[in-house]
Amino acid sequence: MTRLWDGARYAVVLLAPAFVMALAFPRTDWSLTPWAALVPLLAVATIRTPRTAFLWGWASGTLFFLVLLRWLQFTFQVYSAIPWPLVYGPVVLLAAYCGFWTGAVAWAVSWLTARRSAALALALAPFLWVAAEWLRGHLFGGFPWGTLGYSQYLRVRVIQIAELAGVHGVSFVLLAVNAALAGCIVLRGRQALAGAGAAAVLVAATLVFGSVRLGETPASPTARVAIIQPSIEQPLKWEPRHTRETLGIYFALLRRVREDRPALVVWPETAAPTVLRRDPALVQRFQSAAAELGAPMLVGSIDEVEGRFRNTAFLITEQGIVGRYDKIQLVPFGEFVPLSGLLGFVRGWAQFIAELEAGSRAVVFNAPPAPFGVVICYEGIFPDLFRRFVRDGAQLMVNMTNDAWFGRTSGPEQHLTMYPFRAVEHRVSVVRAANTGVSAFIAPSGVITRRLHLFDRGVMTESVPLRTRQTLFTRLGDWLGLLSLGVSTAAVAGSWRRGTREAAASA
C-alpha cells in the first residue's frame, strides 16, 4: 500500500506539470509554465535510479505530447478509414516516441548524479535537453514540433536571442531556470546559490539583449506584399464540381488586392484546384491577372514531372510561369510513406496520404520585389532548411501552407508559432499565406504584425522590411544544438570511463 501511495504521489507531482506545460502552446498560451514545469522531474531524477527516472520521464514526456498533439486526432477521425478503436494509435505512438527523449534526459541526469554529483547533473541539464531536442529534430527525417523554446513566441524580448542560437537558445535558458530551481530543492548551500545565480545572470542577459534589439530601428528598404487567404474547406479543394466556385472566390479576392498595389501576391500551398501546368486556361488567367496588377504571383500547385507528382510553388508574371520551387522536406505519412515496401499498405487507410517526389534544390526567386525564398507547409519548422534560402541570398521569406486538414483545432496556430523564430534567427520578414489560416505578416523582430484568423476569408497587404544583414545564426547555423550534443556525449562517456576505472581499481 505504501508503494502504491508513493507511486500515486509521483504521478501527480510529475505528470500534472507535464500536462500544464503543454498548455504553454496555442491556444491557451500559458507561456510562463515552462519556466518551472520541469523542476519536479529534474529533482526526482537526482534521487531515483536511472531506470526509474527514465520511466517517469518517458511517461511525463508522452503526456506532454499527447496534450500538445491532440489536434492530430481530428485529421485521423475525419480523413482516415482507421477503425474507431485504433484511431488513437498513431497519435499515441508519435507521443510515445517524442516522450522517449524526455525520458532519456531524465535518465542522463540520474545516471550522472549517481556517477558524479547532482550539482554536475543539473548544470548539464540544459545541454542534455537541447541535445535531445536536436536529435528528435534530425533523426528519421526529424520532428521538431514541440521544441520547448517555441512556447515563448509571444515573449518577444525573450526570443531575440534566437538571432544568436536559434530556438534552442530559448530552450537552453528555460532549462537553466528549471535546473536552478531543482537545485534549490536537492542541493545545499553554495551549490544551490551558485546555480540560482548563474540562471539569474543568464535570464538577465537574455532580457537585456532582447530590450536592446527591440529598441533598435534599423533603416531598411521595404517591399509591398499581398496575402490571399481563400478559406476553402479541404473536402472541396479538389472536388471537380466546386472548381468553378473555388476559382470565383480566388479571383474575387484578387480584385480586392488591386487597389493596394502590391509588388508580390502570395497564394497558399496547392491553391490551384487543378494540376496547374495541365490547365493552360488557368495559367492564362493568372498570367492576365499578373499583367493587370503589374506584380508577379506566387501560386501553390501540385505538378507532374515525368509521371511523378511534386508539391510546387510557381512564380507567374505577365510572361507566364517564370520560376518554380519543388518542396524538399515532405511530410511522412502525408506526402510519402517511409519504408514504403514494408508500410505501403497504410496508403489505403487515409485520403491525406499521397506519394509525392521531393525536390532537391533550395530556389531563391530573383524577382520583384526582391530576392525571396519559399518554404512549403511544414518545411519552415526545420531551421537548417530555412537557413539554406537565406544563405543563398533571400531578402524575404515566404511560407505557403494548407492547414485545412486540421480544421479548427490548435494545430494551425501551433504551426504559426515556429515562424517568429525563423524571422528572428535571420532578421528576415516572413510572409505566411495559409488556405484556411493562419496567414500572417511577421516582422524581423518576431512580432506578428497582422494575421487572418482560422477560416477568415480575405486579403492583407503590408510593406515589409527586407533583410539587410547576416546574424550569427545565419553564419553558423544550429551551433548550440551541436555543442550540446558534444557536451552531453562527452559528459556521459567521461563518467562511464571514470566509473569503469573506479570499479576496476576496487576489484
Grid cell for residue 440: 500572417
| Cα distance between residue 246 and residue 250, in whole Å | 6
Q: How far from the centroid of its chain's Cα atoms is residue 170's Cα?
A: 14
Answer for the pair 258, 293: CB distance below 8 angstroms, yes or no: yes
Q: Which phi and psi (to 5°) does residue 441 adopt?
A: -105, 130
Residue 46's SS3 state is coil
Cis before 438 (ω within 30): yes
The residues annotated as belonging to the active site are 269, 327, 377
| Torsion, CA 171, CA 173, CA 175, CA 181, rounded to 10 | -160
Q: What is the secondary structure of 449-482 as a DSSP string?
A: EEEE-TT--EEEEEEEEPP-S--HHHHH-SHHHH
Q: How far from the centroid of its chain's Cα atoms is residue 390's Cα?
A: 17
| Cα distance between residue 446 and residue 401, in whole Å | 19
Q: Give exposure, 90-120, as e/b (b: 16+ Cβ within 10 Å).
A: bbeebbbbbbbbbbbbbbbbbbbbbbbebbb
